[in-house]
Structure 1
Amino acid sequence: MNKILFFVCSIFAFITVKAQNSTISGTISSNGSPVAFVNIYIKGTEIGAASDENGVYVLKNIPTGKHTIIASTIGFEQFHKIITISKNVDHVLNISLNPATESLDEMVVTGTLKPVNRLETPVPVEVYKPTFFKKNPTANIFEALQNVNGVRPQINCNVCNTGDIHINGLEGPYTLVLIDGMPIVSGLGTVYGLSGIPNSLIEQVEIIKGPASTLYGSEAVGGLINIITKNNVSAPQLVADSFITDWGELNLDLGTKFNLGKKTNVLLGINYFKYDNPIDNNGDNFTDLTIQDRISVFQKWNFQRDNSRLLSFAGRYFYEDRWGGELQWTPEFRGGNEIYGESIYTRRWEILGKYELPLEEQLMLSFSYNDHSQNSVYGDVPYIADQRIGFTQLTWDKTIAIHSILAGTALRYNYYDDNTTATMDVNGNLPNEVLIPSIFIQDEVSLGKKHALLAGLRYDYDKRHGAIWTPRGAYRYKFTDNDIIRLNAGTGFRVVNLFTEEHAALTGARDVIIAEELKPERSFNINLNYLKKIYGDNGTFAVLDASVFYTNFNNAIIPDYDTNPNQILYDNLNGRSVSKGVSASLDISLINGPKLMIGATLQDVSTTENGVTKRQILTESYAANWGLTYTINAWDMTIDYTGNLYGPMRLPTLGVNDPRREFSPTWSIQNIQFSHKGFSNIELYAGVKNLLNWTPNKGNPFIIARAHDPFDKEVTFDNNGNAVATPNNPNALTFDPSYVYGPNQGIRTFFGMRYTLN
């Protein structure tokens, strides 16, 4: 009852009403149906808003005189109208949008580091709007990405439930996560910092599948995810979104904007998540879902400058207290060997900014800095770590005839220190500290309407590894305005810090063996992409997006769980690692009818060493995802049915005697949501997650090996440190929570409410 009261009060406590002078209000529709989240603004001013779920909008505090009203959104032609505003008058302007003859024309920035029409860029970029993520509401962006084709959030630990993002079957460390184009979520943040990015402030998420190190440097090996926050002008005045589940999870998202003086506007977002209800449905005496208490505060400042030059700063503070383990664990057992628990305190802050230099040439200075402090224990193994990453970049954007040139220089600072052997030498503790300077250049050539060519080259210098060159090339050909083919080839690299990325190395269940001084990983990727737009005579619109991909790794670092069940062996692969496959997605929109999104990926991810080829561990051979949306206008009701299907993946068992499955079965998680939009500014939603009640323990005798003996007190070892079979341990197992490939949460219901004030 207290959670419900807090939930309701949290929504209405932030509802404010401001005095207004002249206003423009109305509805935005197309063919009689409301169009939600349309950006509408007055040209040449800072006055703007977005339509709500019912297509309703309000523009406030409008000065008298003639103004041009502009409304735009994906899939529709841009609307322009000149209107004369009288003093203290409420004007009504209902807007009807026409379906665009050239859809998918939104601007993207991730592929080329500058705004470009998505249809014109040679680099295939996938774009996802907030409406996509609302079809299956989640508490963080990590979980929200589960409905993106070819992208899978991977849970890496049965106990603390941390994870990373896989793109086309490649492990999480190969994915670079950006906020507003800055590489701010990496290393420890990739594992622990993806939670708590306020969903209410996300404008769109852009995804590139394949190497992007030519522009973004280390870690952009398998792909990158760019989380773009809302524009201060078009963002709603207030957004409050909160939901609860019958497991006891509570999530609250708040977003607002305000002005400081005439030339400064501020965007503020807060995310709070609480779960404190230990549940053990699989009966192993361990929490199925980690207990969590976290808060994240995000703020973005925009400053008006002469000639519309850009100046913005943003920052985020993140704190989380999470633990998982035996049900009887309490903080007094933290770090001891009586009751097993994994307890993680995370403090993290980030800043980033962009400053356009006051020169005739287009020169942009960008920077980011983050400080990540972690105090954690895994059973009786402490892990205390500090990481600081600084990044600054100066880019020059110049168009000369048919050439669009982007050149720049960057400097990355990495600092990492922990209490493990990773930061020690013969003289004691030695933190890792390195500066990586870079220069890069890119030229995009427009060869008429049909052809575009892009070429780029980057040079990085790391004192540990020397010079690193990463070239890139891309070609786009438009058969027609509705048929586009793109061919991309490029290289990527990654400088590694194992202990920030491999949670299994920290559980205390296995010893970590580093065979040699590790070299940076290198990759080569080629990707062929085809985009087809289909217009039906009855108003149906569909988009087919299909790709064939191939990635080859040199010096790949893949943890070896198989050679010794009590160890994780790290070494540069003496052979090759290959990821290849095909993916396709189809989006269909029917006028006044259902909308269907369906995608599928077939992939083969393997390693070959000494003539032996193995499938990569924890990588599915095929996957599918779907989303079906149907709106019943008479009831103001929308129904969203979403789901995923994953093929078998090889799992980290503890040798031939382990009774657990070596391969996972084909499994699926499906969800349904009902949304009601019949109230002014308020949307109610409710639904069921994991309709099939699937959990990974089905068909397995257990998930966590020897959960009853997490400190291996009753395990007998031989002289080589290997467990031996005994009457109370007939399969010669040790405690191991790394056997995990999906969430342990079964079926559950949720209820939520959104309030939007434009």
Structure 2
Amino acid sequence: MKLIIYSLLAITISASSLAQSLKGNVYEIDDKGEKVPLIGTNVFWQGTQVGTTTDDKGFFDLRKVDSNPPILVVSYIGYQPVKMEIPAELDTIEIVLTVNRELQEVVVTGTPLSKYIDDLDAKQTEVITSKELLKAACCNLSESFTTNASVDVQFQDAVTGAKQIQLLGLSGLYTQILYENIPTLKGLASTFGLGYVPGPWMTSISVSKGAASVVNGYESVTGQINIEYKKPDDLERYYFNVFQSSHFKTDINANAATHLNDNLSTMILAHADFNQKAMDENHDSFRDQPNVKQFNLVNRWKYQSYTGFESQFGVQVMNEERRGGQTTESHSNTGIHLDHPYEINVDTKRFEVFAKNGYVFDDAAYTSIGLILNAQWHKQNSILGLRSYYGDQKTFYTNLLFQTRTDDDIHAITLGGSFVYDKYDESFQGYNFGRNESRPGVFAEYTFSPDNLLTIVPGVRFDFHNLYGTFFTPRLHVKYNFDENTILRGSAGKGYRSVNLFSENLNYLASSRHFVIIDNPTYEEAWNYGLNLTKYISLNDRELRITAEYYRTDFLKQTVVDIDSDVREVRFYNLNGKSFSNNYQIEFAYQPIDRLDVTAAFRYTDVKSNYGDKLLIKPLSSKYKALVTISYATEESGWLFDSSFLLNGGGRIPSTKQNPVEYQRAESFPAFLNINAQITKKIGFVDVYLGAENLTNYKQDNPIIAANDPFGDYFDASMIWGPIDGTKIYIGLRLSVL
């Protein structure tokens, strides 16, 4: 990898040094006969994507191309375009544009895309906008991927309500989650963290697959998910949302923003949700979902100096209580030998502060420096039946970045250094575990983009871990535009992550399995490689987007979580053999008629690992997924209709043959269909919406093994592969004032 990066650097530097360019100025002649620079004029070579725009002095510097003859095109809205053949020996030129007297009034109308591929980014990045988030209930981050083919979300067990994402067929633990480019929801927050991000707070979610940028750390193996929150200087001044479901879940959100003066603005984001009624639709004596009570508050500020300096800072406070397990009414009929029901109590407190500061140098408009600071405190106290877990995590994060690029935008570089400190204090079943991790690091990322066709982004970072030594993280991204409608991307890179054994496997506490630690967990290491092809095709004067991709993840070092070797144990040991994931996906997006958006996607995943001496398919995960989403809006968007049809493929269930017959399960699960739908009516600045989830009412049969004897030897609520809840109806109201 080092050789590849060094070779690319040498090739790009030598290529740029040999490149010839055409320099010039574009003017108009005013009434006084004087030259007036035209800013932002488009200058490009005909038949290519090699082009640029003029700066504030009307100046441009354009790389010459090897075409015969080279035709230069100069265009500016409202002016007559110019085409001219440029002799090979010509290096400088002045161009005068004249006003187009025949130009008629042009009215441009359009509808913003609800999700799209960032065609300028060398990484494969899909942006999910707030418009897309409104197509489903989206009470929190875990419900934000209903209409997304790349990201799966599933329950981790049948009793705690914990959810986890999956990207490229692997657990969300291998996906780095960022809040405005600040790492978050890691460590102790990985179990319930998806519920800590209210849906109405988000303006967009960017999903980057495969090797990510080295700027944000080494922890992304399968990709990054970056969340953007509403900001104090957004157009929206006031927002209110209330949501109620047939499963007795209530959500309330309120935002308010104000400008204190020309430089300073502030905003408060408030969230509360309640679920206080116990439901047991499958009559197994356990609540289908725990009763949850959460309060979440953010106060953020923004300072804009208009002289190059900008700062954003804020604080977040959250408190959550989860109460689950057996219902009091059903306990008396279970015949349990103990005198109390199986209870689940999870109390979480979370506090976070952040600051982002940046300065753009006046004398070098392409040069800036930024400093990110973040501190988090997360405390969790959990009781599941007779088992208890306590965790306390304190994290400090800082990242210093320096960015600059050349005037012609061919070369850009980001340099920086970071420092992360994590202090963990955990106790499980009376045993105390603690560790302190500190890791200073340095990184560099170089971007070479000689034209609009090719972009090469090699990056490297070194992190010096106090417990595990030096981590060397090379990554490479390449983007090539065959033409304006065809984009090929390739990526390769390494990732690492520390293992938090108990907090990441809290779902197995909801069972009678014994924790058997054969090898003490340390860190995991993997390579990820990917190819992505995006093609735009004009079909009936409308754009059809086709995206095809393949990603592979190979683990060099991994902590195996083995629930196959013994039905009464969950074993933890170092990988001895192979562990890999192959992910294939194709997606189509098209608008067959005005205001009707249709997407269709199919994904196949092959994930295998050595469990003991056997290479087995990853358990409890679907091998394939097919998704179709349909959205329609009436004229002026008075009514919105949204629906999604998700077919989840079958998969493997770990063997339960060691159990008594009544507690045994099949060794595979079938494919199942999940349908969601929503109708929204817009009335001025108010939206009223009505929706339904899981319209097929498909539920996993008997999700809890030995639910009638939760303190016995065979109890297991962790064998979850499908929905636990049946059909859910919800209604909500949104009010947004600009």
TM range (shorter): 0.7 to 0.9
* Pick aligned residue for 1:680 from 671, 680, 684: 684
Tell me the residue number matched to 2:529. Answer: 526
String of CA shifts for 1:604-623, please: whole Å, max 9, x gaps: 00013676320012221101
Q: Displacement, 1:194?
A: 2.0
Contact 1:525 1:552 in 2 (8 A): yes
SS in 2 for 1:405: strand
Tell me the residue number matched to 1:659. Answer: 664
Tell me the residue number matched to 2:268. Answer: 268
Taking the aligned partners of 2:289 and 2:735, their CA distance within structure 1 comes to: 29
SS in 1 for 2:626: strand
Taking the aligned partners of 1:329 and 1:387, their CA distance within structure 2 comes to: 37
Q: Displacement, 1:358?
A: 7.1
* Residues 213 and 479 of structure 1: CA distance in aligned 2, closer, same or farther (over 3 Å): closer
TM-score when scaled to structure 2?
A: 0.80
Structure 2: which amino acid aligns with 1:456? G
Q: Displacement, 1:591?
A: 4.8
1:587 aligns with 2:589: yes
Tell me the residue number matched to 1:64. Answer: none
SS in 2 for 1:200: helix
String of CA shifts for 1:329-351, please: whole Å, max 9, x gaps: 899xxxx9721011111111112
1:384 aligns with 2:395: no
Q: Displacement, 1:99?
A: 5.0
Taking the aligned partners of 1:602 and 1:673, their CA distance within structure 2 comes to: 28
Contact 2:139 2:200 in 1 (8 A): no
* Pick aligned residue for 2:696 from 684, 692, 695: 692
Q: Displacement, 1:542?
A: 2.6
* Residues 358 and 406 of structure 1: CA distance in aligned 2, closer, same or farther (over 3 Å): closer
String of CA shifts for 1:692-740, please: whole Å, max 9, x gaps: 001111xxxx22111111111xx5xxxxxxxxxxxxxxxxxx1111111
Structure 1: which amino acid aligns with 2:630? L
Tell me the residue number matched to 2:119. Answer: 119
Contact 2:619 2:654 in 1 (8 A): yes
Tell me the residue number matched to 1:405. Answer: 413
SS in 2 for 1:501: helix
Tell me the residue number matched to 1:553. Answer: 555
1:136 aligns with 2:140: no
Structure 2: which amino acid aligns with 1:472? R
Percent identity over the alignment is 25
Provide the aligned C-alpha RMSD in A: 2.7
Taking the aligned partners of 1:95 and 1:161, their CA distance within structure 2 comes to: 54
* Pick aligned residue for 2:727 from 731, 735, 747: 747
Q: Displacement, 1:166?
A: 0.7
Taking the aligned partners of 1:587 and 1:740, their CA distance within structure 2 comes to: 32
Q: Displacement, 1:686?
A: 0.7
After superposition, where does 1:19-418 map in structure 2 within 5 Å?
A: 96-99=107-110, 118-212=118-212, 214-328=214-328, 338-357=340-359, 361-400=367-406, 402-418=410-426
Tell me the residue number matched to 1:724. Answer: none
SS in 1 for 2:145: helix
Structure 1: which amino acid aligns with 2:715? F
Contact 1:198 1:298 in 2 (8 A): no
Q: Which runs of 5+ in 2 are unaligned?
A: 1-75, 79-104, 332-337
* Residues 754 and 106 of structure 1: CA distance in aligned 2, closer, same or farther (over 3 Å): closer
Q: Displacement, 1:413?
A: 0.4
1:457 aligns with 2:463: no
Contact 1:213 1:219 in 2 (8 A): no
TM-score when scaled to structure 1?
A: 0.78
Contact 2:115 2:126 in 1 (8 A): no
String of CA shifts for 1:529-563, please: whole Å, max 9, x gaps: 1111233444x233222211111011122210111
* Residues 79 and 271 of structure 1: CA distance in aligned 2, closer, same or farther (over 3 Å): farther
* Residues 293 and 267 of structure 1: CA distance in aligned 2, closer, same or farther (over 3 Å): same
Contact 2:243 2:733 in 1 (8 A): yes
1:500 aligns with 2:495: no
Contact 2:233 2:259 in 1 (8 A): no
Tell me the residue number matched to 1:113. Answer: none
SS in 2 for 1:503: helix
Taking the aligned partners of 1:215 and 1:655, their CA distance within structure 2 comes to: 48
Taking the aligned partners of 2:266 and 2:544, their CA distance within structure 1 comes to: 38
Tell me the residue number matched to 2:628. Answer: 626
* Pick aligned residue for 1:466 from 437, 453, 469: 469
Contact 2:154 2:164 in 1 (8 A): yes
SS in 1 for 2:665: coil
Tell me the residue number matched to 1:613. Answer: 615
Contact 1:337 1:379 in 2 (8 A): no
Taking the aligned partners of 1:501 and 1:608, their CA distance within structure 2 comes to: 20
SS in 1 for 2:317: strand
Q: Displacement, 1:248?
A: 1.3
Contact 2:578 2:615 in 1 (8 A): no
Structure 1: which amino acid aligns with 2:416? G
* Residues 128 and 535 of structure 1: CA distance in aligned 2, closer, same or farther (over 3 Å): same
Q: Displacement, 1:372?
A: 0.5
SS in 1 for 2:493: strand
Q: Which runs of 5+ in 1 are unaligned?
A: 1-77, 81-93, 109-117, 716-733
Taking the aligned partners of 2:301 and 2:143, their CA distance within structure 1 comes to: 28
Tell me the residue number matched to 2:566. Answer: 564
String of CA shifts for 1:112-142, please: whole Å, max 9, x gaps: xxxxxx3222211110001112111122111
Contact 1:605 1:619 in 2 (8 A): no
1:649 aligns with 2:629: no
Structure 2: which amino acid aligns with 1:614? L
Tell me the residue number matched to 1:726. Answer: none
Contact 2:388 2:429 in 1 (8 A): no
SS in 1 for 2:373: strand
String of CA shifts for 1:159-214, please: whole Å, max 9, x gaps: 11112111011012112111111002211212122213232231210011223373
Q: Displacement, 1:326?
A: 0.5
* Residues 629 and 267 of structure 1: CA distance in aligned 2, closer, same or farther (over 3 Å): same
SS in 1 for 2:721: coil
SS in 2 for 1:741: coil
SS in 2 for 1:189: helix
After superposition, where does 1:678-757 map in structure 2 within 5 Å?
A: 679-697=683-701, 702-712=702-712, 734-757=714-737
Q: Displacement, 1:564?
A: 1.7
* Residues 107 and 639 of structure 1: CA distance in aligned 2, closer, same or farther (over 3 Å): closer
Contact 1:342 1:377 in 2 (8 A): yes
Taking the aligned partners of 1:394 and 1:588, their CA distance within structure 2 comes to: 42
SS in 1 for 2:136: coil
Contact 1:105 1:119 in 2 (8 A): no
Q: Displacement, 1:571?
A: 0.9
SS in 2 for 1:369: strand
Larger Rg: 2
Structure 2: which amino acid aligns with 1:413? Y
Taking the aligned partners of 2:667 and 2:488, their CA distance within structure 1 comes to: 40
Contact 2:136 2:146 in 1 (8 A): no
Q: Displacement, 1:231?
A: 3.7
SS in 2 for 1:310: strand
Number of aligned residue pairs: give it: 622
Q: Displacement, 1:106?
A: 10
Taking the aligned partners of 2:196 and 2:518, their CA distance within structure 1 comes to: 36
Q: Displacement, 1:668?
A: 2.0
Q: Displacement, 1:287?
A: 0.5
Contact 1:596 1:629 in 2 (8 A): yes
User: Which moved further from structure 2: 218-227 or 363-372?
Assistant: 218-227
Taking the aligned partners of 1:105 and 1:405, their CA distance within structure 2 comes to: 31
Taking the aligned partners of 1:619 and 1:458, their CA distance within structure 2 comes to: 33
Tell me the residue number matched to 2:598. Answer: 596
Structure 2: which amino acid aligns with 1:438? G
Structure 2: which amino acid aligns with 1:649? G
Tell me the residue number matched to 1:442. Answer: 445
